Amino acid sequence: MKGKNALYLAALGAALISVIICMELRADAPPSLSPPEEVNQADSNGKYLQPVTLRIGYYTTLESKWPEGSSDTFSDNRYTRRIENMLNIRFVHAFEYPSSDYTQKVNLLISSKNIPDFLLVTEAQFKRLAEAGMVEDMTELYEQHASPLLKNVIQGFGPRLMRRVTYNGRLLGIPSTIPAHDADGVVWIRQDWLRKIGMQLPEAITIADLERVAKAFIEDDPDGNGIHDTHGIQSTSSFLTGTIGFNTLDPYFGAFKAFPRIWIKSEDGNIVYGSITANTKQALGKLHDLYEAGLIDQDFGTVKPDQFAKDISIGKAGIGTGYTSAPMKLLAGSVKNNPAAEWDAHYIVAPDGKYYTRQPDPLGRIMVVKKGAKYPEAIVKAINVVADLDNNAPGVPHVYMDSPGTNWSVRPIQATFRKEQTVVNRFKRFKDAADGKLPREQLLEPDRKIFDDYLKGFGQLVASPQDWAYVLYQYHGGSAVLSSVNIPVYSEFYGMTSTMENQWENLLNLENESFVRIIVGDKPLDYFDTFVAEWREHGGDVITQEVEEAIAAIKRPAYVDKRSDE
C-alpha cells in the first residue's frame, strides 16, 4: 500500500506543478488585446487585405542560375511572386551578403544590436539573440498560424529539434530542417578508367580496394596518353567534416567505424567526442600509409576547398568523394570536357561489411523575428508556402521545374522545411519506377522527366551534363543510400554549449593541425595521444560534461503548448 500511495502522491504532485506552470505562463504572457481598426486584416486563406512588406536578411550565391531568357532576380522571382500572390506579402532585402560572408556579417549585426526584422541565424547566433532579449516570442504565433504540414515536418524530427529553438520554455524561432541521408558519403570512380586497367569493382568496396584503384590510376596510364600524369586520391584543406564534403577524406574514417566531428556513445555508455577515439587514431594511421605511398595528393592540405573538381574536370583524376548529389558539382565538368567519361558511385564498408554514414544536423538555420517587428506572424505564413513546396503538397505547382540549376537558395526564405525521410522516399520511388513496381504516372510531376532521362541512358545524356549529373545522383547515389548495409550514425548532440562558443574554434584548429601532421608524417601516429591530452586540457573535458548535461536536458518538455491547459 505504501508503494501505491507514494505513486499516487507523486502523480498528484506532478499534475499540480503542471497546472502552476501553465498559470504562471498565462500570467507572464502579454494581455490579449482586440486589434485596433487600423490593423491589417487577412481573409480566410490568410491573405492580407493590404500589402505587407517584410525586411529580411539575404545572402547571394554565384551558383544560382536563372532560366535562359529569364529576367528574374534575387528580389523578384517565381518564389517571391508566389508568396505575394497567395498572401500579399512582399520581401525587401535589408542586406545582401555573399554566402561565404553571411555568418560573419550577421555576427556583427547582432553585436551592434542592429538586426533586420526577419533573419535566418545559426544556433549559436540564436542563443545570443535569445539571451539579449532581441527576438519575438513565437510560441502562440506558431500555434495559431503554422500549417498542419509545417507542424508535421518539425514534429517529425522529435523533441530535440524544438528544444533547440526555445529559451526559458518559450519558442523564439522557427527551425528549418535537414532530412536524413542528405549527406551520405560516396566515392565516385571513373568506370572507363577501370576498364582500361582491367579492374572491376562491386558497389560496396573496402579500403584495400580503393588502395588498389588509386595505385593503378597513378601508375597504369588510365587516360592512355603515355604519360604518368594522373592522380589517385585527392582532397583539399577542408579534408574532414561532420558528414561529407567535396573531395574530403571523410568516407575513409567510416571504414574504421571512426566518427570524427560528432558526439557518440562509447562502449561503456559514456558520451565521447568521435575525433579522440582509438578508431579515429587507426584511420589516421591508414591515411598516413596511403599518403606515404603517394596515393593521396601530396598537396592536399594546401588545396583550396573551391578547387575540389579541378583535376577531375580536366581528366587527370578518376576518384572523387562527396554527397550523393556530388555529380552536379564534382563530375559534370568531366563529361562536359570528355563525353566518354563514365562515373559510378561506390561506398566504403568497414570490416563488418557495414556502410556507416554520419548523418547531418537535422537543424538548419533558424528564422527569428526582431522584437517589436510588425506582422511577426507573416513570416510563419510565408514558411507555410515554402513547406508546401518542399514537401510536394497536393495541388502545389513546382517552381522552376524547367530549370534544375535554379535551386531553393534563391527564395526569400533561404532554408528548407522537409520531412525527415524526404530524401530516402524519393530515392525509393525512383528505384521502384526503374524496377517496374511504380507506374511513371504515380511519380511526382517534376520527377517524371528525371525518370524519362534515366530511360534514355547516360550515353545520350552526356550532351546535357547537368541532366546527366542529376540522373547519376538520383539513381547511382540513391542506390548507396538505399543499400541494406547503410547504417546511419547520428550525433548524440548537435548544438553548442557555453564553453564551445568560446573554445570550439581553437579546438577545431588543434584537431585539423594535428591530423594533417600525422597524415603527412610530420608527427608519428602516437602524436595522436598528445593531441587528445591537449584537447581535453584546453576545454574538451569541460565541453564533454556540458554536452552530457545538454543531452539530459532534452528530456524536459520543449515548450509549453498553449492548448495543453484547455
Per residue in 95-139, pLDDT (tens digit) is 999 998 999 999 999 999 999 999 999 998 999 999 999 999 999
User: Do residues 226 and 347 share a domain?
Assistant: yes
Residue 28 lies in a domain: no
Question: Is the confidence at residue 367, as pLDDT, over 50?
Answer: yes
User: Do residues 156 and 75 share a domain?
Assistant: yes
Mean pLDDT of 468-482: 96
User: Do residues 427 and 413 share a domain?
Assistant: no
C-alpha cell at 243: 558528414
Contact indicator for 443, 435 with CB cutoff of 8 Å: no
For residues 323 and 478, give the distance between their C-alpha atoms in angstroms, rounded to a whole number: 10
For residues 566 and 564, give the distance between their C-alpha atoms in angstroms, rounded to a whole number: 6
pLDDT at 401: 80
Question: Is the confidence at residue 15, as pLDDT, over 60?
Answer: no
User: Do residues 214 and 298 share a domain?
Assistant: yes
Distance from the first to the final alpha carbon of the chain: 33
pLDDT at 344: 98
C-alpha cell at 560: 509549453
Share of the chain above pLDDT 90, in %: 80
pLDDT at 548: 95
User: Do residues 205 and 309 share a domain?
Assistant: yes
Residue 11 lies in a domain: no
pLDDT tens readout for residues 93-102: 999 999 989 9
User: Do residues 260 and 328 share a domain?
Assistant: yes
pLDDT at 355: 98
Lowest mean pLDDT among 32-41, 302-311, 337-346: 32-41
User: Do residues 172 and 157 share a domain?
Assistant: yes
Reported as a pLDDT band with limits 50, 70 and 90, residue 556 is low
Question: Is the confidence at residue 14, as pLDDT, over 80?
Answer: no
* Residues 6 or more apart in contact with residue 517 via CB below 8 angstroms: 523, 527
pLDDT tens readout for residues 427-466: 999 999 999 999 999 998 889 999 999 999 999 999 999 8
Residue 563 lies in a domain: no
* Residues 6 or more apart in contact with residue 362 via CB below 8 angstroms: 157, 160, 161, 177, 178, 179, 180, 420, 494
Residue 42 lies in a domain: no
For residues 58 and 55, give the distance between their C-alpha atoms in angstroms, rounded to a whole number: 10
C-alpha cell at 245: 564534403
Question: Is the confidence at residue 7, as pLDDT, over 60?
Answer: no
Mean pLDDT of 472-486: 97
Contact indicator for 476, 322 with CB cutoff of 8 Å: no
How far is C-alpha 46 from the geometric centre of its chain's CA atoms? 31
C-alpha cell at 295: 596515393
For residues 476 and 463, give the distance between their C-alpha atoms in angstroms, rounded to a whole number: 19
Q: What is the CATH number of the domain that holds 172?
A: 3.40.190.10
pLDDT at 555: 61
User: Do residues 127 and 146 share a domain?
Assistant: yes
Contact indicator for 420, 179 with CB cutoff of 8 Å: yes
User: Do residues 223 and 339 share a domain?
Assistant: yes
Reported as a pLDDT band with limits 50, 70 and 90, residue 371 is very high
C-alpha cell at 33: 488585446
User: Do residues 393 and 446 share a domain?
Assistant: no
Mean pLDDT of 222-229: 95
User: Do residues 73 and 171 share a domain?
Assistant: yes
Question: Is the confidence at residue 6, as pLDDT, over 80?
Answer: no
Q: Which of 348, 318, 343 is nearest to 208 (CA)?
A: 348
Strands 486-489 and 355-358: parallel
Q: Element (H or E) spanning 188, and its range? A: strand 186-190
In which residue are the cell numbers 529569364 written?
Answer: 70
Reported as a pLDDT band with limits 50, 70 and 90, residue 566 is very low
pLDDT at 159: 86
Mean pLDDT of 247-258: 96
Residue 538 lies in a domain: no
Residue 2 lies in a domain: no
Q: Element (H or E) spanning 513, and its range? A: helix 498-520
Question: Is the confidence at residue 157, as pLDDT, over 90?
Answer: yes
DSSP string over 412-430: SS---B--TTHHHHHHHHH
pLDDT at 561: 45
Residue 545 lies in a domain: no
Amino acid symbol at 396: V
pLDDT at 359: 94
Last residue of some domain: 447, 467, 485? 485
Q: Check residues 556 and 87 and name the one with the higher pLDDT.
A: 87
Question: What per-residue string of b and e applies to 148-176 under the rule 16 or more CB within 10 Å gives b?
Answer: ebbeebbebbeebbbbbbbbeebbbbbbb
Range of the domain at 78: 52-178+362-419
Residue 310 lies in a domain: yes
Question: Is the confidence at residue 9, as pLDDT, over 50?
Answer: no
For residues 557 and 31, give the distance between their C-alpha atoms in angstroms, rounded to a whole number: 24
What's the DSSP call for residue 42? B
Three-state SS across 436-465? CCCCHHHCCHHHHHHHHHHHHCHHHHCCCH
User: Do residues 209 and 302 share a domain?
Assistant: yes
Number of domains observed in the structure of the chain: 3
pLDDT at 40: 77
